[in-house]
Amino acid sequence: GEDVEQSLFLSVREGDSSVINCTYTDSSSTYLYWYKQEPGAGLQLLTYIFSNMDMKQDQRLTVLLNKKDKHLSLRIADTQTGDSAIYFCAESPAGGSARQLTFGSGTQLTVLP
């Protein structure tokens, strides 16, 4: 079945760049997503990338997609303490009656002062 994997923890210093990595298995996914979950809250869509793109940039966020290796990454430039959160990658496998998403386990990003 589909599987999405992420490392569980990442710590960076304020002002540095953060890179969160994700591997997925379903090569037919149309979109891949990054969600952010702040403490005590639900998930919010942070950004996404269409499967025929290699890169997408949105202000401090850069998403890189390597379809050959089924590898997705999220780079946050100039990381701030407000970026501390859990980041989930998700894929949208083909088929399914309700466009289910498969989520990774989430990466807890801690930004140190």
Partner 1 sequence: DVKVTQSSRYLVKRTGEKVFLECVQDMDHENMFWYRQDPGLGLRLIYFSYDVKMKEKGDIPEGYSVSREKKERFSLILESASTNQTSMYLCASSFRQGGLGEQYFGPGTRLTVT
Of 7, 75, 67, 76, nearest to 31 by C-alpha is: 67
Of 42, 24, 41, 17, nearest to 33 by C-alpha is: 24
Residue 92 touches partner 1, criterion: CB under 8 A: yes
Phi then psi for residue 82, to 5 deg, are -70, -10
Residue 103 touches partner 1, criterion: CB under 8 A: yes
Please identify, using beta-carbon distances, which residue of 75 and 103 lies nearer to partner 1.
103
Among positions 7, 11, 57, 100, the unique one binding partner 1 when judged by CB under 8 A: 100
6/8 Cα distance (integer angstroms): 6
DSSP character for 82? G
Residue 43 touches partner 1, criterion: CB under 8 A: yes
Residue 101 touches partner 1, criterion: CB under 8 A: yes
2 to 21: interface string for partner 1, x by CB under 8 A: ------x-------------
